[in-house]
Amino acid sequence: MKGANNNSLDGFILMGVSDHPQLEMIFFVVILFSYLVTLFGNSTIILLSCLDSRLHTPMYFFLSNLSSLDLAFTTSSVPQMLINLWGPDKSISYGGCVTQLYVFLWLGATECILLVVMAFDRYMAICRPLHYSTTMNPRLCWLLAAIAWLGGLGNSVIQSTFTLQLPLCGHRRVDNFLCEVPAMIKLACGDMSLNEAVLNGICTFFTAVPLSIILISYCYIAQAVLKIPSAEGRRKAFNTCLSHLVVVFLFYGSAIYGYLLPGKTSNQGQGKFISLFYSVLTPMVNPLIYTLRNKEVKRALRRLLGKRREVN
């Protein structure tokens, strides 16, 4: 068994997105395009949140944190994926795989917590509007953001370290396009029931529990929105929350399917698609969801472009 674990130090073979090599170039073009859109969209939101004083509010502070997360989240996996799709070499070094495992899990867990923080911000804005400005002060916003990032890091240290301690069976073929927990567990030998129970417990804490909190908070938000007397006020509050809810269901739905139900997923190709969904597609559509439905962001973008035209 010790020899099997030593073999892993030579690196791993990532089996990729599809079992059909003729589709690799198509996947390369699609994923490259998605990655470029992700870089542009999330960088734009971060830039607008920093430069436009009208967006210096808790909502856009947390949104810029989400965009920073999405940028790092995709960068932790997509470049390696593109390298493996471009040529015949499908390998990843042991150090690269370990780094990808820790960083990917860190940022994924951080997003789980950050989405809860964003729901709390919307709850305070709609259900406690008179106390919003005093409660959601800059100090609390930075504290909540730090809790999200450090909480995700703690999850990654525990879960990734626990996964890397599993005895490997000797082969180095990871049946996925990145090193993540469900794929790495499948490389292990022996009775994995205790390990899977511990990992499932941690995954449940970082997915099902935060999602439950978000849904409960939105029940209170819905009650408060229905009490708003003006139709315009209800519509504005609804639009503000809808973007966040769409992002929540996209991210948590795919993450729960990928991490809590891997053993029940008989179709490995389907599992890879879910991994592709929350690692590539969700970070790409997040900025589109927030910008297309958010008039303040669109106005800030027009103001920024207008200033550049004046300078030129």
Across-strand partners of 14? 174
pLDDT tens for 157-201 read: 988 888 888 777 766 788 778 888 877 877 877 667 777 777 778
Q: What value does the mean pLDDT take over residues 139-154?
A: 95
pLDDT tens for 87-101 read: 777 888 888 888 999
Mean pLDDT, the chain, rounded, equals: 82
pLDDT tens for 64-82 read: 999 999 999 899 889 888 8
Whether the per-residue pLDDT at 114 is higher than 80: the answer is yes
Q: Are 289 and 243 in contact (CB under 8 A)?
A: yes
The reported pLDDT for the residue numbered 292 is 63
Q: Are 132 and 124 in contact (CB under 8 A)?
A: yes
Neighbour tally for 71: CB within 10 Å: 20
Amino acid, single-letter form, for residue 196? E
Q: What token pair was written down for 143?
A: 């504290």
Whether the per-residue pLDDT at 28 is higher than 80: the answer is yes
The reported pLDDT for the residue numbered 117 is 94
Q: Are 298 and 52 in contact (CB under 8 A)?
A: no
Question: Could you give the percent of the chain with pLDDT greater than 90?
Answer: 25
| Record: fold of 13-295 | Rhopdopsin 7-helix transmembrane proteins (1.20.1070)
Helices (H) and strands (E) in the chain, counts: 13, 3
The domain ranges of the chain are 13-295
What is the pTM (predicted TM-score) of this model? Answer: 0.86
